[in-house]
Amino acid sequence: MLVNRRTFIAKKPHFEEALALLAEYRDLLKSVDSAAVMRVYAIEVGRFDTIACEYEVESLSAFERALAEFQEHPEVKSRLPAWYERWREITLPGGTNEFWRLHD
C-alpha cells in the first residue's frame, strides 16, 4: 500500500478556510468512492499555517486511475474549477507531494 502525503501552506488569515476546503474535497471523494481513505491534518507544532492530507492507495497506477475517474465524475467535474480557483487564492505556492510505501 502507498500513502500520498501532501502538505500546503495557507495564506494568513485563511488557515481554517483552507482546512474546510480540503475537508470538502475529502467528502466529495468519499461521495464518489465510499472506500476511499483520505485524512486532513492541521498543524499543532511545527511550521506555521501548514495543512497536510494523506490518501491511501494500492499503487501509483491505482492512484492515477482513481484521480482520473474522480475528476471526470459528473458530480465532481462541475465543482472542481471553482474549488481550485479558491484554493489557489488562499494557499501559497510550495508544499510537498510524497508517496510513502507502508512497510509491515
Domain boundaries, the chain: 2-101
Which three cell numbers, joined as nine digits, stand for 73? 465524475
pLDDT digits (tens, 9 = 90+) for 13-45: 999 999 999 999 999 999 999 999 999 999 999
- Residue 63: the pLDDT is 94
| pLDDT per position as a tens digit, 42-93 | 999 999 999 999 999 999 999 999 999 999 999 999 999 999 999 999 999 9
Topology of the domain comprising 2-101: Alpha-Beta Plaits (3.30.70)
- The pTM for the full model equals 0.90
User: What b/e readout covers 63-99, taking b as 16+ CB neighbours within 10 angstroms?
Assistant: beebeeebeebeebeeeeeeeeeebeebbeeeeeeee
State residue 104's pLDDT score. Answer: 83
The per-residue pLDDT for 25 is 96
